[in-house]
Amino acid sequence: MEPDDFLTVEEGQPVYNIRHRAFYFSKDVIKFISEQQYEKIYSSLFEQLIRSATSIGANLVEGAAGSSTKDFIKFYVIALKSANETKYWLYLIKETLLQNKEQTEQLINEVNEISKVIGAIIVNTKKNQQ
């Protein structure tokens, strides 16, 4: 997938491609973090969140460019692990900061949906591989 492929979805329109959805989720997380005001003690939480959230899409793109089904599955599994890690950081931020709980909950809901889609893709790919 070329970087310009992400530009083919108009802002505010439904996103059906999981790689596009992960890209927009990454953008939402970056925007969320940029709008936060927090004490230094929380810096590492937000740094970890941005790493794990952006890793989801990066691994999906890498998997799509893989040379084999085994590569594809490997990178999608990594993306799923990054999504689970992202949930952890979002829940921790939600429970330790008193602000923006609603916005944090929206991000949690989206990453849960992304996880479900990635999980289904992995399961279906493994079934079709046999």
pLDDT tens for the chain, 130 residues long, are 454 455 455 566 566 799 999 999 999 999 999 998 888 888 999 999 999 999 999 999 999 998 899 999 999 999 999 999 999 999 999 998 867 788 999 999 999 999 999 999 999 999 998 7
pTM: 0.86
Q: Tell me if 41 is assigned to some domain.
A: yes
Q: Tell me if 24 is assigned to some domain.
A: yes
Q: Tell me if 47 is assigned to some domain.
A: yes
- Cα 93 from chain centroid (whole Å): 16
Q: Rounded CA gap, 98 and 113, in Å? A: 25
Q: Tell me if 82 is assigned to some domain.
A: yes
Q: Which residues contact 105 (CB under 8 A, 6 or more apart)?
A: 94
- Cβ distance 50 to 88 under 8 Å? no
Q: How many domains does the chain have?
A: 1
Q: What is the CATH number of the domain that holds 34?
A: 1.20.1440.60
Q: Tell me if 14 is assigned to some domain.
A: no
Domain that holds residue 82: 3-9+19-129
Q: Tell me if 109 is assigned to some domain.
A: yes
